Structure 1
């Protein structure tokens, strides 16, 4: 079979055959291409459709996850069936780089497509400007992801409006139950009691702030770089009658006013601050705590020492610009050197896979409304990234760790019981 290009150029190999070598062959995946070529069983549960030669041009320009993502976001590639199942069938490509030898092989065969059909990247890609992890650039990066649309996030996250890993008491628990369980786990580890002051950095839509105030009588301040999050979170605080105890501000964590807090929660912030700022970040949080005060750091990590600190190129361009993931050991060391005594650590990566499963289910249930709210391209970005990250957590390509530390009091006093009372056992 000969593949015919839109402008008359030809290639002697069927497109589906070329892609099957790179993507791998799986009983669950069928590949159908615009040139009529097919690889895979007719009854395969998932079909990858290559709709346009532009998809192949994107693969030459950015082999691996970024090229595939660009083609998917622009509908040049489509998936019939469950996207998560498709990604699992070709996980070596979607979660890792294509080996150099394979990239060269692919480029030689697809070069005619690149010459005829190359296009600029989709305009949904983030390109923050300025010094990496400066306040101005961090504000741009956070706005790219979080200031999409509060209504869109309501479709995806559900009533809790919580965009961090939940904690499932069992695999069949609802997302709302799991998010409430997560907040209570954090509160227990921090030993929150009525009258305490809590600082929640990177507070999102204020879920932890509201939980601490409503369930534990804590005076809680949350800060976020997202203006839309801050507005939504403060309005929800007022709606629930928690204004006397809780507050959400549109503020950089580096600009939080000095004060003495009894506890600090950081749920999903450390991924955004950059390795160069990790040490100063933990020192700043330690300085805001009273002696005996606790900090709970909850964030995505790499399971090994990274060759580079940046996230996957698709995630970096479309989802979390400038995100950097570190191994948990790096964070534990930084906390220790900042003056915290580390008291407990646990990996919740399986829980994040379940959380992403449920967010993906919400998105599919509200797909028509979500597309109407943010457009087909952005909705496909979220669908792709949640399915890919779910797979990443399942396969231990990424992890989610909670690390609990304390600022010791006089004579090394930690204030911890011998066993169990801080929710970690």
Structure 2
């Protein structure tokens, strides 16, 4: 049986995409602006070994499965097809397909692409969320290439959700506005000391120093991020106020900061460490101090935080774990923080990701030259999929503001002055 017939058997004859295979067969909508291309039999091996998202990802990252057209459009149409028509393959149907394509595809083991982080590789660095293992996980994702991140993220070098005044707002303005929103929620003032944990390339640190005269320290587990940030701080003449160190947030001394920002770090600390994380940040704040926690969240609090065998965990964020907003808020409250404000910026992250996807496509050849085609493919697939995730409420983005009371005084205005 030709592969196009199997494609139709799985997704139906009216799929809103075109299908083409190495055996010359085609299926789907011949006028579609996106085409799924099976280039080699290895794609079938991957799908046989891991039916679903993991097999498709391995085949695509390895170049055995390809896509002609826009990745987001293709994923959206296939998502809609799966939800609307309920794509599902029964065990009996799977046996029939296996016979048609040849049992050899099911027994020939093909190693995953080198971009995949296997459990064995991480186990060699210790237990989940130990300092050494966290350093390896961060190294995998963030020490890819600063030049690559410049191509994707743009001049702001900010790898977290921006805040858009309108859908037409530029990415750079939206990232500036995000940092300024954090600064206003924290009520930053000249002479204060700010700690930014998981500081990335130092965007918040530089913003606080440049715009508010704050003495700001950022810490990151990525050596390449710290080196890039230190150079940029020097270039901008902010060395008297801003500093970025290559260190674990757990090693920062306690009790000396007026304000703390945590922008995109909580996703990496692990469910079992959430309570100790917020307790540790509480200890680093002076009485009357504020914490702004900004992170990706699950839409419900009763969902499991881990995706240990999922695509994102294997290819993008090893050991990543997402909490529901109620879990985070409760943990902050139990650590001693008084919760003063919370908001969901889910739609803003979808807009942010669209800009990053556009940047990657516009700079595709340069990106491939920096990191190789396999890694560039990981980013194309993962970012387009994340747009859908935020649009469809699979994931959210929350900012939660907490205060370490000064006795009973929160030092807050009667009404928020940052909305």
Aligned match of 2:284: 288
User: Could you tell me how far 1:265 is from its partner in structure 2?
Assistant: 0.3
What does 1:112-123 align with in structure 2 at a 5 Å threshold?
Answer: 112-115=103-106, 117-123=108-114
Q: 1:72 to 1:307 in 2, by over 3 A?
A: same
User: Could you tell me how far 1:166 is from its partner in structure 2?
Assistant: 0.4
Structure 2: tracts of 5 or more residues without a match:
none
Aligned match of 1:82: 70
Aligned match of 1:42: 30
CA deviations over 1:343-378 (Å, ceiling 9, x no partner)? 111111111001110001111111111101110101
User: Could you tell me how far 1:89 is from its partner in structure 2?
Assistant: 1.2
User: Could you tell me how far 1:63 is from its partner in structure 2?
Assistant: 1.7
Tell me how far apart the structure 1 counterparts of residues 175 and 92 of structure 2 sit (CA, whole Å): 46
What does 1:226-241 align with in structure 2 at a 5 Å threshold?
Answer: 226-241=222-237
The one of 128, 134, 143 equivalent to 2:122 is: 128
User: Could you tell me how far 1:215 is from its partner in structure 2?
Assistant: 0.2
User: Could you tell me how far 1:102 is from its partner in structure 2?
Assistant: 4.1
Tell me how far apart the structure 1 counterparts of residues 160 and 82 of structure 2 sit (CA, whole Å): 23
1:346 matched to 2:343:
yes
What does 1:21-420 align with in structure 2 at a 5 Å threshold?
Answer: 21-23=9-11, 28-91=16-79, 102=90, 105-106=93-94, 108-110=96-98, 112-115=103-106, 117-126=108-117, 127-129=121-123, 130-304=126-300, 305-307=302-304, 309-310=306-307, 313-410=310-407, 412-420=408-416
Q: CA contact under 8 A between 2:49 and 2:106: conserved in structure 1?
A: no
User: Could you tell me how far 1:306 is from its partner in structure 2?
Assistant: 1.5
Using structure 2 for the length normalisation, give the TM-score.
0.93
Partner-residue secondary structure (3-state), 2:339: strand
Tell me how far apart the structure 1 counterparts of residues 388 and 28 of structure 2 sit (CA, whole Å): 22
Tell me how far apart the structure 2 counterparts of residues 94 and 134 of structure 1 sit (CA, whole Å): 39
Tell me how far apart the structure 2 counterparts of residues 103 and 142 of structure 1 sit (CA, whole Å): 39
Structure 1: tracts of 5 or more residues without a match:
3-13
CA RMSD of aligned residues (A): 2.0
User: Could you tell me how far 1:113 is from its partner in structure 2?
Assistant: 4.8
Partner-residue secondary structure (3-state), 1:128: helix
CA deviations over 1:94-136 (Å, ceiling 9, x no partner)? 99xx988546633652362524653111111113231010000
Q: CA contact under 8 A between 2:271 and 2:305: conserved in structure 1?
A: no
CA deviations over 1:182-211 (Å, ceiling 9, x no partner)? 000000000000000000000000000000
Partner-residue secondary structure (3-state), 2:103: helix
Tell me how far apart the structure 1 counterparts of residues 380 and 224 of structure 2 sit (CA, whole Å): 22
Q: CA contact under 8 A between 1:202 and 1:253: conserved in structure 2?
A: yes
Q: CA contact under 8 A between 1:22 and 1:102: conserved in structure 2?
A: no
CA deviations over 1:226-278 (Å, ceiling 9, x no partner)? 00000000110011000000000000010112242111100000000000000
Tell me how far apart the structure 1 counterparts of residues 397 and 13 of structure 2 sit (CA, whole Å): 31
Tell me how far apart the structure 1 counterparts of residues 77 and 265 of structure 2 sit (CA, whole Å): 32
Partner-residue secondary structure (3-state), 2:383: helix
Q: 1:26 to 1:202 in 2, by over 3 A?
A: farther
User: Could you tell me how far 1:61 is from its partner in structure 2?
Assistant: 1.2
Partner-residue secondary structure (3-state), 1:294: strand
Using structure 1 for the length normalisation, give the TM-score.
0.92
Tell me how far apart the structure 1 counterparts of residues 131 and 13 of structure 2 sit (CA, whole Å): 46
